[in-house]
Amino acid sequence: MRFHHVLPPLVLAVAAGVILPRFLVRSRWAHRVPRFALGLWGLLVLVLTASLSLAILQLFFPVAESHHFPEAAGDFLLTSAGRCVAVMLNGLERPSALAWAGFSAAVCPPLALALAFGRQVFDFRRRRARHAELLGMVGSWRSELRATVLPHTTPAVYCLPGRAPQVVVSEGAVHALTGEQLTAALEHERAHIAGRHHLLAAAASAFGALSRRLPLARLVRDEVPLLLEMAADDRALRRCSRQALAVALYVVAAGQAPRAALAAGGSSALLRMRRILQPPTERPTVLGVTLLALALAVGLLILAAVYCSAPGPCS
């Protein structure tokens, strides 16, 4: 088989990009422990990116040479980043044009993801700066709340994360919520800021924009924001009661937040209220499942690398 050396990374890419995401999104335990679920989604993205890079790299090498691409990679890295002088002095052979093309093409998947993430972060900062300027004109700081109060009758609570984060609450929310409920909503927003959830949301949005037809990209774009809200709920529950947080979510669910913000309410409020008021009685062995998935992914990557670097029947 002429391209047998490309099959292992391609199979791994299909598993990470198509098959495993469908199982993860249907799992019952993902919403119980959202932080572990977020880690698994990130792991699938990393495995897919690495597998695609490995597959592209293999395509640029003949079958016989592709079995020794780790040595070629070492020579390639040796001649880059200002070490060309050492190569010339030691008389080492420079990599071929095919090697340069192969390694350059293999960088495309992670580079595309990094560029998309950078664009999302840039857009976020631009929208945040614009909204922060508006808040400076119409909002007022309340030291007892440690938040900016917006003169608006609709109950709304959200945060503007970033280098100068701030929590924003409308006057409607201040009047509609009790002290405990307002504290719960504010703690939810501070959890977003402390966890730097806006960066994870930007990464999910960037990856989802790269390929909307890929199941992993589509599900990451949809699931990560929900899991971030659930993770913030769990952190807020450390300092407030379940009933207070659930009522706060119900009251501020109709409030609108800017695109650069993370809001306590939103379209997922009903699902999160049910999760808060009806916690699961049994906790799954998520740590074991996570470690198993991580070990499986790393093992498959090692297997693919060993298989592709060892002499094969076509070499």
The single-letter code of the amino acid at 125 is R
Residue 123 falls inside a structural domain: yes
Does some domain include residue 196?
A: yes
DSSP 153: S
Asked if residue 164 belongs to a domain, the reply is yes
Report which secondary-structure segment, H or E, holds 240: none
Three-state DSSP at 166 gives strand
CA 148/CA 167 separation, integer angstroms: 6
Which residue in the block uniquely carries the two structure tokens 């989802």?
208
User: The domain containing residue 19 runs over which residues?
Assistant: 4-59+107-278+285-309
> Which pTM does this prediction carry?
0.80
Work out the number of other CB atoms within 10 angstroms of the CB of residue 28.
8
pLDDT tens series, the chain, 315 aa: 455 667 777 888 888 889 888 888 888 788 888 998 898 899 889 888 888 888 887 777 654 444 444 444 444 433 443 443 344 344 444 555 656 666 777 788 889 899 999 999 999 889 888 888 888 888 899 999 999 999 988 898 999 888 889 999 999 999 999 999 999 999 999 999 999 999 999 999 999 988 878 999 999 999 999 999 999 999 999 999 999 999 999 888 866 666 656 666 666 788 899 899 887 665 555 555 665 566 566 656 655 554 555 444 344
Cβ atoms within 10 Å of 80's Cβ, excluding its own: 13
Burial class (CB in 10 A: 0-12, 13-18, 19+), 238: exposed
Is residue 254, in this structure, part of any structural domain at all?
A: yes
Q: How many domains does the chain have?
A: 1
In-domain check, residue 90? no
Q: Is residue 188 one of the residues assigned to a domain?
A: yes
- Asked if residue 187 belongs to a domain, the reply is yes
Query: Which of 140, 118, 121 lies closest to 129 in space, CA to CA?
Result: 121
Q: Give domain status of residue 85, yes or no.
A: no
